[in-house]
Amino acid sequence: MRINRWLPWLYAAPMIVFVAAIFAYPIVTLFRYSLEVPGAANEPPSTGLANFEYVFTDPLFHTALLNNLELFLCVPVMIALSVILSAILFDRPKGWKIYRTLLFVPYILSIPTVGFVFGYIFQYQGVLNTGLKLIGLKFLALDWLGSPTWAMRTIMLVIIWKELGFGIILCLARLVSVSEEYFESARVDGARWWQILWHVTIPQLAPALAFYGIIELINMLSWVFAYVYVMTLGGPMNSTVVTEYYIYQQVFTNDIVGVGSAAGVVLLGIVAVLIAMRVRLQRRLALSGYE
């Protein structure tokens, strides 16, 4: 029994060692750089926690973190849309395969490509505003990427459009594995579509939604650099600076590797907490009978 318990780990050991060897060096280097000033001629080789002190007192870093927290608002929207759209597709309306493909295609597109295309669309003189003016809706033509009020909201809209397909496919895959008896019993009892969605579909989607939610929270922290870099370069007035872009600025623009590394350590710590939450949530769902 004990051998069977450890057998999967023995099979996975070579790959675990390989992956650990790949990630160990950059992680150790990141921590080392965060505690020193590499390559500085007139500075002491070690700064202790000075880099972290700078990061935690830097207003721009605070702005970046707040912007990442604002991006978290995308996650409940994506979860809600994924549940509703996957439930509709699960009922297999006419042309559902085409709709499924159209909804999933944005997810497989590269982020720089998506950012470039939408950056062109949302320019002040871009496709969207030009179209609005042509149909007499000039009052809706806004400076989508040039306004501190609308720039982050526009990026959020693009992120939702791209990431939604992943959630829909996850939910559909989960629904396919659920016994049809649950849905038939609800219909026999006279439950309407929204009642079935609330009392049957959503509980059965709990494992997929938990996974999707945590993954997207991690993405909102550590996978949005390309959107910002291509669409706004952190502007206007730093309204779209995120932690990734802050790290990029410190390391490659300001040439302050220590500060950028310290910010990277902070970001790594936050992501590690989210990963731990994901593992804990998965275990709790398994104990509750959701697998």
Question: What digits encode the pLDDT tens for the residues 188-216?
Answer: 888 898 999 998 999 999 889 999 999 99
Q: Is residue 104 part of a domain?
A: yes
Instruction: Please state, in angstroms and as integers, the Cα–Cα distance from residue 232 to each residue in 63, 66, 152, 184, 225, following that order.
Output: 15, 17, 9, 50, 10
The SS3 of residue 30 is: helix
Stated pTM of the model: 0.89
pLDDT tens readout for residues 88-106: 999 899 999 999 999 999 9
Q: Distance from CA of residue 172 to its chain's centroid?
A: 20
Q: Is residue 109 part of a domain?
A: yes
E-strand ranges in 106-148 read: none
Q: Is residue 202 part of a domain?
A: yes
From 270, 98, 69, select the one nearest 156 (Cα to Cα): 69
The range of the structural domain enclosing residue 75 comes to 42-287
From 151, 159, 158, select the one nearest 217 (Cα to Cα): 159
Give the per-residue pLDDT at 268: 93
- Listed ranges 121-135, 157-171, 189-203; the one with the highest mean pLDDT: 157-171
Q: Is residue 13 part of a domain?
A: no
pLDDT band at residue 16, thresholds of 50, 70 and 90?
Answer: confident
pLDDT tens readout for residues 63-87: 999 999 999 999 999 999 999 999 9
Mean pLDDT of the chain: 89
Q: Is residue 276 part of a domain?
A: yes
CATH number for the domain spanning 280: value is 1.10.3720.10
CA-to-CA distance for 1 and 222, rounded, in angstroms?
Answer: 41
Domain count, the chain: 1
Q: Report, as an integer, the average pLDDT of 217-235.
A: 93
Cα angle value 155/60/151 (rounded, 5°): 20
Instruction: Please state, in angstroms and as integers, the Cα–Cα distance from residue 119 to each residue in 106, 140, 184, following that order.
Output: 15, 18, 46
Per mean pLDDT, which range of 16-25, 74-83, 94-103, 223-232 is the poorest?
16-25
Q: Is residue 4 part of a domain?
A: no
From 240, 187, 194, select the one nearest 66 (Cα to Cα): 240
Buried b (16+ CB within 10 A) or exposed e, 58-80: eeebebbbebbebbeebbeebbe
Q: What tokens does 148 get?
A: 């501190």
- Non-local (6+) Cβ contacts of 147 within 8 A are 236
The SS3 of residue 81 is: helix
More confident residue, 46 or 8: 8
